[in-house]
Chain A
Amino acid sequence: AQRVTQPEKLLSVFKGAPVELKCNYSYSGSPELFWYVQYSRQRLQLLLRHISRESIKGFTADLNKGETSFHLKKPFAQEEDSAMYYCALLVSGGSNYKLTFGKGTLLTVNP
């Protein structure tokens, strides 16, 4: 069965420090992975997807199929990065698909 695991519920770093939010997945098909973010009092929104291989707000994530991981990284954390981060796996079967989310990691960036 498909599963997304985010091992850290809470992660606290200081401003300017590197940050890595871990995500591991279990899926028998070809994985498509995403990171979603929810800032305080805002809607859940897409941060980035592995297919586009882009950097958004300084964050990057590389899909490692060997380790079945999709960790989110940023070299220098900022206070405005404090938010809840969710890793998500697109589970598909033909035209049907759904997003399976991890339980999330609350990132706090301290001044």
Chain B
Amino acid sequence: KAGVTQTPRYLIKTRGQQVTLSCSPISGHRSVSWYQQTPGQGLQFLFEYFSETQRNKGNFPGRFSGRQFSNSRSEMNVSTLELGDSALYLCASSLSRGEAFFGQGTRLTVV
């Protein structure tokens, strides 16, 4: 079974730009969550989607948004990028409560 796939693996963007990250979950997994990982803050929950609906949202500004498609693939968008948005963005899919399968992440660098 293929694991969670995130694309692209690396991105460099300029302040003020926007970016879209993609996540393909494990086949059959309908729940997809996104996390931001930084050395100082660790893993912080962004949002979770289930069957195309956002079920839960973390404490991030409205510049961070996401969506899920009917095939469970998910995208995350960050608009008006700031230097502080530089981080590893992790996507995880799950079938059962608490057991998350993580992708390898997208490393976003904002310059």
A100 to B92, CA, bound (A): 13
A104 to B3, CA, bound (A): 23
Q: Which residues of B contact A32 (CB under 8 A)?
A: 97-98
How many contacts between A and B, using CB within 8 angstroms?
56
Question: Assuming A95-B55, A98-B56, is B99 touching A46 (CB within 8 A)?
Answer: yes
Question: Chain B contact residues: over half helix, strand or loop, or mixed?
Answer: strand
Question: Chain A contact residues: over half helix, strand or loop, or mixed?
Answer: strand
Question: Assuming A43-B102, A97-B97, A99-B98, is B42 touching A86 (CB within 8 A)?
Answer: yes
A102 to B42, CA, bound (A): 7
Q: Is A34 an interface residue (CB 8 A)?
A: yes
Interface residues of A (CB under 8 A from B): 32, 34, 36, 43-46, 49, 86, 88, 90, 92, 95-104
